[in-house]
Amino acid sequence: MNIGIDQISFYTSQYFLDLRTLAEARGVDPDKYVIGIGQSKMGIPPPDEDVVTMAASAAFQLKEQGALDGVEALLFATESGIDQSKAAGMFVHGLLGLPERCRVVELKQACYSATAALRMAMGLVAMRPQSKVLVIAADIARYELGSPGESTQGCGAVAFTISADPRLIVIDPESGFYADDVMDFWRPNYLSEAQVDGKYSTLVYIKALKAAWTQYAEESGRSLDDFARFCYHIPFTRMAAKAHQKLARGISDEELENVIGESLIYSREAGNCYTASLYVGIVSLLDHCAEDLSGKRIGLYSYGSGCVGEFFSGVVQPGYHDVLLTNEHQKLLNERMELTFQQYEDIYHYGIPTDGGEHVFPQYRTGPFRFAGIERHKRIYEEA
């Protein structure tokens, strides 16, 4: 039975900060960001946007296409959780009006958990081939102001359905995976900013990639030449480039651009989307690749700090162009509003109240849903 991604959609905040603006404010050469890490903008969520609203907005595009008919599970992957008990996916379930017969679970393992969700979804579909599973990955990357990680902030969500006989990508059964208990990146409950050992995290990312690829190659018998394109976990786009250079030693800049370039376009505009980043890369590739990828195999590498890495692959299906939401994605990015540096810092310092009182949040530009406020420690969501 062929199982994989039937349809996929991407969403990011309606606001962004140009990294040249950040560079000027921080007194650094803009090339440090634009060339050094390969980023141009970072998505900035306003006070009434969070992982729930981004997730629901990404999935709403699928709902409008009728792609959520038959969904029997919602798996929400995030490392920006909003509650220690209630899954963020339950709020999304309500906003989307999904059926009562629906499993809903939140998954966490840094940036890897969307791939764990994909694997779980494939198992559920294998047991009930007539059903679908909705997987959503949504995150907000946040670091201390002025820190080395500040320029790698961002936000976004990807929603995709897993089904039998999918129209986009059939996921191959072979896989290589790796785990190691390390402290390269972490987000303590008592902090709102992530902590990261940047150089060490890069080394662990590459170590996990090499181990996962070796397993995958042994299990599948495939070589790098068997892939038309590659998509990587993208904390920043230069990291994906460095990763592929480690696998394909001696690859030219032209060849590198050909096999990963299209997958980096959306991440360069939205910034780090954590759990969603690999899947943002897949959307970007399918939306931008001029070559017909029908029947072609793409290599996929998912990484989550702490750490878990997995290399797997999928085959793009004939007719995949017919179910892409390219126009919607590009319209979203083209119509975003640019923030001044002061507006960016003002939003950064806007704290979510924790006193349990009644709080109504001002309305900004969002997708079809917004985070309206808090009442007695309960988060209130509404249609925008």
CATH of the domain at 147: 3.40.47.10
3-state secondary structure of 64: helix
Q: Which domain holds residue 268?
A: 3-383
CA atoms within 13 A on the CB side of 315: 12
pLDDT given for residue 111 in this prediction: 98
pLDDT given for residue 336 in this prediction: 98
Q: 34-60 burial, b if ≥16 CB within 10 A, otherwise e?
A: beebbbbbbbbbbbbbbbbbbbbbbbb
Question: What's the structural domain count of the chain?
Answer: 1
How far apart, in Å, are the Cα atoms of 329 and each of 156, 159, 244, 318? 12, 13, 26, 21
pLDDT given for residue 146 in this prediction: 95
pLDDT given for residue 244 in this prediction: 98
186 bridge partner residues: 195
The model's pTM: 0.98
How far apart, in Å, are the Cα atoms of 70 and each of 101, 123, 306? 10, 16, 35
**Over the chain (384 residues), what is each successive 10-residue block's mean pLDDT?**
98 98 97 97 98 98 96 98 97 98 98 98 98 98 96 98 98 98 95 92 98 98 98 98 96 97 98 98 98 98 98 98 97 98 97 91 97 96 96
> Any idea which residues carry the catalytic annotation?
79, 111, 233
pLDDT given for residue 6 in this prediction: 98
Q: Count of residues for the chain?
A: 384
